[in-house]
Amino acid sequence: MTSPATNDTTDAFASRHFGALELLGDECGALALAMRDWMVAHDVVFAGQPIPFVMAPHCIEASTMARVQHAVEVLTRVLDRFCTAYRTDVGLRHALDLPTAESELVRIEPTLDDPLQLCRLDAFLMDDGRIQFLEFNAESPAGIGYTDVMFDGLVEHFTSLQYARDEGDLHLAYERITPHLIRTVRSVEARWRRWTTGPEGPGSALGIPRSCERPFVALIDTADSPSVPEFRIICRSLEAAGFDAAYASLDELRRLDGRLCVQGRAVDIVYRRALVEDVLDPYASPGAAALIAAVREGAVAMFNPFPARVANNKKLLALIGAPEFAHLLEGDEERRVVADTIPWTRILAHGGSTLPDGSAGDLAAYVRAHRDDLVLKPASDYGGHNVHLGRLTDIDVWEALVDAHAGTGEWIVQLYLDVPTGRFPAIDDEGHLVVHERHFNINPFAIGGQYAGMITRISTEPVINVSAGGGLLPCVSVARR
């Protein structure tokens, strides 16, 4: 609920909320069970289990939230520029060194000019108030639907949150993420429809009308996705906003008379949650090929298009502030935000490099000698897989990783940052109110190029990820009225 980067305002709110929970006494355990059942009934479920939660949102002081918002919007402009540049910038393509099939997919001629429509920027909020972005999840960022619904559940079950939201001297504010998503999907559909039914598009030949009362959104992932409950949440929100919407697996996609179809119905917008590697899997169903062909021809709009893969690659953290790509930063403020919020990151390689202290030296040798200060991770993996914190990794394992991956262009090395911890109220196995100390990171969203709210992920482990057993909670701002 609170973290080291707090102040008197957030501490006051945390104290009041915990006091209200203490007054409930033994009712707290029953309330937690009721909240858990409520979450199951409302699809806050991942991999068949309710997402772990605590008895409060994560509170951040309003001015800190404003700094996060500013950094997110500046970085999103920069990331969008890198995604766009990949098609024509030979130096960027060489530096990222994507596999051939992936590179060709990313370079499909776009029908719209904003490749980065959806991104979750995963960060640490440090003890001294600095914001440090460790990864950009631009491929399949989860948590949008889950967290909006979880906030509703917390407010419904805990009266102290209702009071702080609606009245009192401390104001609690939660930025709902789903409305930003709906507005951007609506914009993508409208702009695609204007283009595809215009003189350059295939829409007229395919019978695509110039307007549609309820455009059909197909949310696409693999058949074994553990996130289907969140897809249902998002589809319900889209339906309520005037779309028809359904989840479908890649296996269910077909081309009929030139249109991309699900169960015989023509799709207007694909909301892509399937990763590029799922689409390019040599064992993927014909549906993946149908999707690629429809996107290539402009026969369907895609929310979260393939070029976003550029921002998703962790090697971009090493390139975004590099002198050879300075032409992709515009103005002093972009340069300042990149310098202040991106920790030292390099593509793991042999040979000379600028080291964290600004000196020059052999990168691989430095990585071997400074294990406690560094993190190794693959550039294209996700879900916290294969992330190695040097101080928690045996030296033999660390050196084997350097031997195996230096020079392959597939791993990065990043400066280690102390993982923030916070105190969160929870219920123990006996139904008693306790305070748990948990590692946490903050995960602001950018949707349609704008800040779109924030979630927090928590874990007992320093590598934090819901797919690795971590928890999720809404992130709220607190200010005095």
331 to each of 74, 80, 327, 338, how far by Cα in Å?
11, 16, 10, 11
The CATH number assigned to the domain holding 205 equals 3.40.50
Q: What pLDDT digit, counting tens, does each position of 206-255 carry? A: 999 999 999 999 999 999 999 999 999 999 999 999 999 999 999 999 99
Q: Is residue 128 part of a domain?
A: yes
Q: How far apart are CA 239 and CA 243, in angstroms?
A: 5
Q: What pLDDT digit, counting tens, does each position of 277-322 carry? A: 999 987 877 899 999 999 999 999 999 999 999 999 999 999 999 9
Residues 304 and 367 in one domain: no
Q: Where in the sequence is the domain holding 67, given as residue range(s)? A: 8-85+115-175+428-480
3-state helix/strand/coil string of 89-138: CHHHHHHHCCCHHHHHHHCCCCCCCCCCCEEEEEEEECCCCCEEEEEEEC
pLDDT of residue 80: 97
* Of 349 and 113, the one with more pLDDT: 349
Q: Are 122 and 472 in contact (CB under 8 A)?
A: no
Q: What is the mean pLDDT of residues 463-479?
A: 85
pLDDT band of 4, cuts 50, 70, 90:
very low
Q: Is residue 385 part of a domain?
A: yes
Residues 26 and 140 in one domain: yes
pTM for this model (two decimals) = 0.95
Structure tokens at 369: 């000698």
Q: Is residue 422 part of a domain?
A: no
Among the candidates 253, 280, 309, a domain finishes at 309
Q: What pLDDT digit, counting tens, does each position of 424-461 carry? A: 999 988 888 999 999 999 999 999 999 999 999 999 99
Residues 171 and 185 in one domain: no
Residues 153 and 25 in one domain: yes
Residue with tokens 């939201």: 165
Q: What pLDDT digit, counting tens, does each position of 24-55 carry? A: 888 889 999 999 999 999 999 999 999 998 99
Residues 190 and 294 in one domain: yes
Residue with tokens 């401390």: 170
Q: Is residue 472 part of a domain?
A: yes
Residues 290 and 439 in one domain: no
Break the chain down into helix, strand, coil percent, rounded to 5.
40, 25, 35
pLDDT of residue 188: 98
Q: Is residue 106 part of a domain?
A: no
Residue 202's φ and ψ, nearest 5 degrees, are -90, 0
Q: Are 220 and 271 in contact (CB under 8 A)?
A: yes
Q: What is the mean pLDDT of residues 137-164?
A: 91
Q: Among 4-8, 62-66, 158-162, 377-381, which stretch is predicted with the lowest mean pLDDT?
A: 4-8
Count the domains in the chain: 3
218 to each of 105, 288, 340, 409, how far by Cα in Å?
20, 14, 39, 35
pLDDT band of 6, cuts 50, 70, 90:
low
Amino acid at 237: S
Q: Among 85-99, 166-180, 304-318, 389-403, which stretch is predicted with the lowest mean pLDDT?
A: 166-180
Among the candidates 309, 336, 357, a domain finishes at 309
209: exposed, middle or buried (Cβ count in 10 Å: 0-12, 13-18, 19+):
exposed
Structure tokens at 192: 């695609």
Q: Is residue 92 part of a domain?
A: no
Among the candidates 309, 329, 358, a domain finishes at 309
pLDDT > 70: percent of the chain: 98
